[in-house]
Amino acid sequence: MDFRIGHGYDVHALGEGLRLVLGGVEIPHEKGCIAHSDGDVLVHAICDALLGALALGDIGKHFPDTSAEFKGIDSLILLRRVVALIEERGYKVGNVDSTIAMQRPKLRPHIDLMRERIANAAGVAVEQVSVKATTTEHLGFEGEEKGVSATAVVLLVKS
């Protein structure tokens, strides 16, 4: 098969006074993601999409949150490792599309830097990485600012 598609979804709860890291970019905000790693919900969704495309399980299987090795880890390091797994199996990343759902703060000013950092970690051009952001109109846990969710789809191409 020349193409494989993958889907990823992740959620983290928000806590006061924690760092908020999305797409490898630290964003000034009074709340951040509660997590074992840096809590980068967007990069986690992308990792899951990449793993899912080759039916390799999920991020929790490869990088257990019980392991001290991954405590506070920069999720872009995890993304690099996932892309290495994909490449070992003879595939390369065609493109990535993703959406973050978060009520506040406005993410648009940070989107292009997120795309650059994700593209850099994944070894692809920035044009191959799309990051979008939406509010949920104050509905649900994202809208109530209790948490953040992200979804991603990827296309892998046989190299």
Instruction: Say which residues have a Cβ less than 8 Å from residue 142's Cβ, sequence separation at least 6.
Output: 101, 102, 103, 135, 136, 148, 149
The verdict on 40 binding Mg ion (CB under 5 A) reads no
The verdict on 4 binding Mg ion (CB under 5 A) reads no
Please choose, out of 10-18, 21-29, 76-84, 119-127, the segment that lies near Mg ion by the rule CB under 5 A: 10-18
Please choose, out of 41-49, 64-72, 89-97, 134-142, the segment that lies near Mg ion by the rule CB under 5 A: 41-49
| Cis peptide bond N-terminal to 105, omega within 30 | yes
The rounded distance, in Å, linking the Cα atoms of 153 and 98 is 6
Please choose, out of 5-13, 48-56, 132-140, 149-157, the segment that lies near Mg ion by the rule CB under 5 A: 5-13
Q: To the nearest whole angstrom, how small is the minimum distance from the Cβ of residue 155 to Mg ion? A: 22
Size, binding site for Mg ion by CB under 5 A: 2
The verdict on 78 binding Mg ion (CB under 5 A) reads no
Nearer to Mg ion, 29 or 36 (CB): 36
Q: To the nearest whole angstrom, how small is the minimum distance from the Cβ of residue 16 to Mg ion? A: 19
Please choose, out of 3-11, 50-58, 84-92, 106-114, the segment that lies near Mg ion by the rule CB under 5 A: 3-11
The verdict on 44 binding Mg ion (CB under 5 A) reads yes
The verdict on 10 binding Mg ion (CB under 5 A) reads yes
Q: Which residues bind Mg ion (CB under 5 A)?
A: 10, 44
